[in-house]
Amino acid sequence: MTSKLSKTFIYFLGTLFIINLVQSYFTQLIFDESYYWYYAQNMAWGYFDHPPMVALLIKISSFFFEGELGVRFMSCILSVGTYIILWDLVDNPIKRKYIPHFFALGFSITLLNAYGFLTLPDTPLLFFTALFLWAYKKFLERENVWSAIFLGVVMAALMYSKYHAVLVIAFVLLSNLKLVLNKYAWLAVIVALLCYTPHFIWLYENDFVSIKYHLTERPNQAYSFSKFTAGFFLNLVALFGLTFPLVYWSLYKTKITDTFIKALVYLTYGVILFFFISSFNRRVQTQWIIVIAIPLFVLTYQYTLQNPNFRKWLYRLAVINIVLLTYARFWLVHQPLLPITYESHRNREWVKEITDKVGDMPIVFENSYRNAPMYAFYTGNTSFSLNNIMYRQNQYTIDSSEYKVQHQKVLYVSGYLSGGDVTLRNKNGDIYYGKYIEDFESFRKLRCIVDVESFDLDSNEELVLKVYNPYQEDIDLKKIKFNVAYTNDYKKVKETQPLKTDLKDGQTPFLKAKDTTYFTFKLPKPKMEKPGYAKLSISENGLYTGLNGKTIPVN
């Protein structure tokens, strides 16, 4: 593939690579990047929110560099690879005359720019979407065992990047249903499933926690046209900036001339339609639709080559986009360029403020899977996110990080404290507090299990609560209290109440290690009207009640 690249193309590509390397070095991490860096400290076949590809990229980057570049180096490499693949996907001999237009289009796409150096799950998703389409194109040209195996491996890599990848595969398949009867296509599927088996095993061993969270546990909110559906259309615009009318016009004007072009069109319309329908149920984030940037890039550049007037206007608007995005890149490094503080600003400063006051003492951040890894990245010190019922589950819920702070003197940092031993300021200058806990002890891995499909508030029935203790030691019941949280129909907690429980006959006043203890209880009546769901939870040692039970509908 690279043998077809001209010197001009390589110069542009090299410039892009250097720009992204410099940007990576001077831009502080954003919160999600620090969270995925935290993933990479303990490599696994899966993580709470995502498959493991993003962690693998960071781990590989760390072999070459330290600091921010040790998180982002592989993103810069993948960005180069994405442009090379996109170039090869365009079948038009005159493309060599319009290399500046090719890069102008790429540089002008907002998130294609961002994921050229930021390391997020969408970074490998973009690269492997492009590689998948390239592998599929080669498969169409020559169907054989080797092209099928390669296609299968790429499909697995795509799925290891982000679960949204299933849409890419599904809509390409939908564009060519004859593949259902193709033995080589089935070989590709089998290879993909075999390669993806380690992640399936991880999901099984972790009780499908990722799938359950994304499909059933995730909080939502009441439908709002402006936030949901209108927001979705705004995202379609934001993805391409000023060039958006020309990009979508090229999609509209594209004629399906072969099976591969049909795949690009189906993929684009399919993803747009899928998330348009989704927008009537939940808010669609811009990065969820990022995969359409790959087929639309190819279709737009193809149309650019065929239409001189369109080419002229696309180039002009792309240049304006590039100027704006270049300013934004400088702003990511130097905050005074805009009166807005972003995630990449002042991280070293607020982290240093804490260490100046407490040294290398372990820090327990309440409800912040964002602050905990950011603090750990910039200090190398121990941190932990203690998640309670008002927050959400995350990687700190399922990994072993809780053990690192047990029975340690810690600084407990919370945005809910009205005062404390230490006064702090976040990056925006807002005051929050920390208090010292001499002997920190939490039991956030305790599981509350009730074998019912729903709770009946009109019933006075006595129910059975099973509490599983996964720890290596018994837990004295004097250390814990049971609670119930009631949520609205969108799973947002609105009320918590103490839950009176009684040990079943023959049970000891301990939660036995690696064992299940049985209680009986009656569900207290909520004060709120018409709760949607209830969750049973546990508070330990005076800490705010945790995330210990699943969300159960209330009748």
Residues 313 and 419 in one domain: no
340 inside domain: no
* 153 vs 159: CA distance, rounded Å: 10
* 503 close to 493: Cβ distance less than 8 angstroms: no
pLDDT for 359 equals 94
Residues 270 and 315 in one domain: yes
pLDDT for 340 equals 92
347 inside domain: no
* 497 vs 50: CA distance, rounded Å: 33
* 185 vs 155: CA distance, rounded Å: 12
Strand, coil or helix: what is 23? helix
Strand, coil or helix: what is 546? strand
Please give the angle made by the CA atoms of 377, 40 and 129, to the nearest 5 degrees. Answer: 120
Please report which confidence band the pLDDT of residue 222 belongs to, taking 50, 70 and 90 as the band edges: confident
pLDDT for 109 equals 95
What the block records as the tokens of 59 is 């781990």
How much is the mean pLDDT over the chain?
95
Residues 167 and 36 in one domain: yes
* 219 close to 228: Cβ distance less than 8 angstroms: no
Residues 149 and 212 in one domain: yes
Instruction: State pLDDT tens for residues 329-340.
Output: 999 999 999 999
Residues 146 and 21 in one domain: yes
pLDDT for 75 equals 98
295 inside domain: yes
**Angle, to 10 degrees, between the axis of helix 69-89 and the axis of helix 122-141?**
30
Q: Residue 5: pLDDT above 90?
A: no
Query: What residues contact residue 424 under an 8 Å CB cut-off, 6+ apart?
Result: 350, 353, 354, 357, 413, 431, 432, 433, 434
Residues 26 and 115 in one domain: yes
Query: Beta strand 480-487 with 493-498: parallel, antiparallel or unpaired?
Result: antiparallel
pLDDT, mean of residues 512-517:
96
CATH code of 456's domain? 2.60.40
Residues 125 and 167 in one domain: yes
What the block records as the tokens of 456 is 């009946």
Model confidence, pTM = 0.94
Please report which confidence band the pLDDT of residue 84 belongs to, taking 50, 70 and 90 as the band edges: very high
343 inside domain: no
Please give the angle made by the CA atoms of 115, 117 and 118, to the nearest 5 degrees. Answer: 65
pLDDT for 427 equals 80
Give percent of the chain above pLDDT 70. Answer: 99
pLDDT greater at residue 219 or residue 339? 339
Q: Residue 2: pLDDT above 80?
A: no
Cβ-count burial 261-296 (b if 16+ within 10 Å, e if not) = bbbbbbbbebbbebbeebbeebbbebbbbbbbbbbb
Instruction: State pLDDT tens for residues 136-161.
Output: 999 999 999 999 999 999 999 999 99
Please report which confidence band the pLDDT of residue 507 belongs to, taking 50, 70 and 90 as the band edges: confident
Q: Residue 64: pLDDT above 60?
A: yes
Number of domains within the chain: 3
What the block records as the tokens of 67 is 């600091």
Query: What residues contact residue 258 under an 8 Å CB cut-off, 6+ apart?
Result: none
Query: What residues contact residue 102 under an 8 Å CB cut-off, 6+ apart?
Result: 9, 86, 87, 90, 95, 301
Q: Residue 506: pLDDT above 80?
A: no
pLDDT, mean of residues 315-332:
97
pLDDT for 214 equals 85
* 46 vs 55: CA distance, rounded Å: 9
For residue 121, give its domain range.
2-335
Instruction: State pLDDT tens for residues 345-372.
Output: 999 999 999 999 999 999 999 999 999 9
What the block records as the tokens of 323 is 């100027």
328 dihedral zone (left: phi>0; alpha: psi -120 to 50; beta): alpha
Rg (CA), the chain: 26
* 130 vs 220: CA distance, rounded Å: 32
pLDDT for 1 equals 56
Please report which confidence band the pLDDT of residue 176 belongs to, taking 50, 70 and 90 as the band edges: very high
